[in-house]
Amino acid sequence: MPERAPSPMPLAIVAAATCLALVIFTAPLTTLEPMTAGLGLGPALQAWVMSGTPLGSACGLLTAGALGDTLGRRRTFVGGLWLAALSSVLAALSPDGLILVAARILQWLASAGIMACGLGLLGQVYSGPARRRASAIWAAALGGGVAAGPLIASGMLPLAGWQGIHWLLTPVSAALALAATARLPESPRTGQRIDVPGSLLLITGLGCLLSALIEVRVGGPGLVAGLLAAAVLLLAVFLRQEARSPNPILPLDLFRHADFSGATLAAFASGAGVLALMSMVPTVLVRGLGLSPLGAAVILLAWSGLTVLSALGAGRLPDALSSRTRILVSICGCAAGQALMLRADAGAGWAAVLPGLLVAGLSNGVLNAALGHEAVQTVPPERAAMGSAANNTARYTGSALGIALVSVLIARAPGDGFFAGWHQAVVASTALSLLGLAAMLLLSRGSRGHAPTRP
């Protein structure tokens, strides 16, 4: 008898939850101004609201991946959804900026559980060409969340203010948690102990690093230097801990394989380059060109909407076109789209950003699909959640660094000064994408067939 095709329900649940996680990520893109007015946010808290999501994600993804592999991916996935529901209530009820920042970090710690285990669950259910198609749909869900988040958040402003998006996230998260409990399979547990010291060192080390980058904009040099020194020390101790741990959250020997290292570097370049730059496009449209939040969200669809469509189309590309090739070509396309954003300036209208948004969106969808596939292909099956978590940690660490960099560069006076900073940000983010491309090319030349890939 032919083998029965797997149910589409696990893919539907994981894709919907992934979309939810990216809605959480993008909610402030078009509601920052109302939040600033309503809560009296100063420059520091504005920077923290924007960077709190990638901070929580980058700090929590590897730990969530280890929890998924050790305690069960479904259990960790469902726990992330319930935490998303509770932290969204906290965000909606926030009386001041500090509580809001704490809620935002909790929201993305919750999303870390969703993102880290979602791809691992798909890798557990689907195999062969079905897995590649599932990865493409998962990537489309990433783009769908980016597209939907600003639209929903700005659309809720007249009805319930900036809090409206958070009230909406609560029941949706709870409903997905119930569906996941009922319909997703649980993964086998490894029976190994969780590397708690490694998790704490990574969380505090990345937290100090990202805090230093955020505080560059508003903090004193002494604080920034202290945070950077603490980050270097904590991350060095983390690497030592991982080398000695019997069950590390990030097995360092995997970096000996070019495919794993290449996929991780590409994810970092994607976050620091195209994702960070496009995350700030609504700010440019609202503050620099005077558009409304809803208008900025609609224009951003040229990037995020095309990301969804191209990710879905990537599933139809011939299997003979390797994921590595797709990643290399799509990074080139993203860099070209970023460079086209130099067209935006004080004398141009909103149409000036469209070519860059379209080129970057087309390339970004293919890139997301290929990275999603490589994340679970380049690690052993029992570490699939860790592979997904490492890939997403690299992506959102890059995003946090990139957003902090772009924010610093455009934090200038309105008008021509603002766009001078924007042009510097475009050049810097494009350079980061090209550096990722160069690193992948070097890895491609240095290794042939040594990665622990799976069909």
**In CATH, what number is assigned to the domain containing residue 363?**
1.20.1250.20
Decide if pLDDT at 366 tops 80: yes
In this structure, the answer to whether residues 210 and 69 fall within a common structural domain is no
Query: How far from 441 is each of 347, 375, 390, 434, 436, CA to CA, in Å?
Result: 39, 18, 20, 11, 9
- Please indicate, yes or no, if residue 311 is contained in any of the structural domains: yes
pTM, 2 dp:
0.78
pLDDT reported for residue 455: 47
Residues 361 and 272 occupy one common structural domain: yes
Residues 311-335 have a mean pLDDT of: 82
Query: 423-437: per-residue pLDDT in tens?
Result: 999 999 999 999 988
Confidence at residue 355, expressed as pLDDT on a 0 to 100 scale: 95
Same domain, 144 and 236: no
Q: For 67-83, what is each residue's pLDDT tens digit?
A: 887 888 899 999 999 99
Tokens coding 190: 């490894």
Same domain, 211 and 328: no
Asked whether residue 239 is assigned to any structural domain, the reply reads yes
In a domain, 216, yes or no: yes
Tell which wins on pLDDT, 60 or 416.
60
- Together in a domain, 140 and 45: yes
Model confidence over 170-217: pLDDT tens digits? 999 999 999 999 998 887 666 677 788 988 898 889 888 877 877 776
Residue 444: per-residue pLDDT: 67
Instruction: Write the pLDDT tens digit of every residue in 13-71.
Output: 999 999 999 899 888 888 888 888 899 887 667 777 776 667 677 777 778 877 887 88
Domain tally, the chain: 2
Residues 86 and 211 in one domain: no
| 455 within domain boundaries | no
Closest CA to 435 of 402, 391, 396, 390: 402
What mean pLDDT, rounded, does the chain reach?
84
**Exposure of 402 in the CB half-sphere (CA atoms within 13 A):** 31
Which of 205, 220, 248 is at the close of a domain?
Answer: 248
Same domain? 105 vs 229: no
Q: In this predicted model, which residue has the larger pLDDT, 173 or 318?
A: 173
Output the 3-class SS for the chain.
CCCCCCCCHHHHHHHHHHHHHHHHHHHHHCCHHHHHHHHCCCHHHHHHHHHHHHHHHHHHHHHHHHHHHHHCHHHHHHHHHHHHHHHHHHHHCCCCHHHHHHHHHHHHHHHHHHHHHHHHHHHHHCCCHHHHHHHHHHHHHHHHHHHHHHHHHHHHHHHHHHHHHHHHHHHHHHHHHHHHHHHCCCCCCCCCCCCHHHHHHHHHHHHHHHHHHHHHHHCCHHHHHHHHHHHHHHHHHHHHHHHHCCCCCCCHHHHHCHHHHHHHHHHHHHHHHHHHHHHCHHHHHHHHCCCCHHHHHHHHHHHHHHHHHHHHHHCCCCCCCCHHHHHHHHHHHHHHHHHHHHHCCCCCCHHHHHHHHHHHHHHHHHHHHHHHHHHHHCCCHHHHHHHHHHHHHHHHHHHHHHHHHHHHHHCCCCCHHHHHHHHHHHHHHHHHHHHHHHHHHHHHHHCCCCCCCCC
316 part of a folded domain: yes
Domain membership of residue 1 (yes or no) is no
Position 446 pLDDT exceeds 60: no
**Among 208, 224, 248, which residue terminates a domain?**
248
Regarding whether 33 and 82 lie in a shared domain, the answer is: yes
Query: Do 133 and 231 sit in the same domain of this protein?
Result: no
Range of the domain at 240: 195-248
Specify the pLDDT at position 232: 96
Q: Are 142 and 304 in contact (CB under 8 A)?
A: no
**pLDDT for residue 53:** 67
Q: Same domain, yes or no, for 213 and 264?
A: no
pLDDT at 6: 74
Domain membership of residue 2 (yes or no) is no
Tell whether 66 and 215 lie within a shared domain.
no
Q: What is the pLDDT of residue 445?
A: 67
In a shared domain, residues 68 and 208: no
- Cα–Cα distance, 430 to 436 (Å, whole number): 10
Final residue before a domain boundary, out of 248, 264, 284: 248
* Residue 422 within a domain: yes
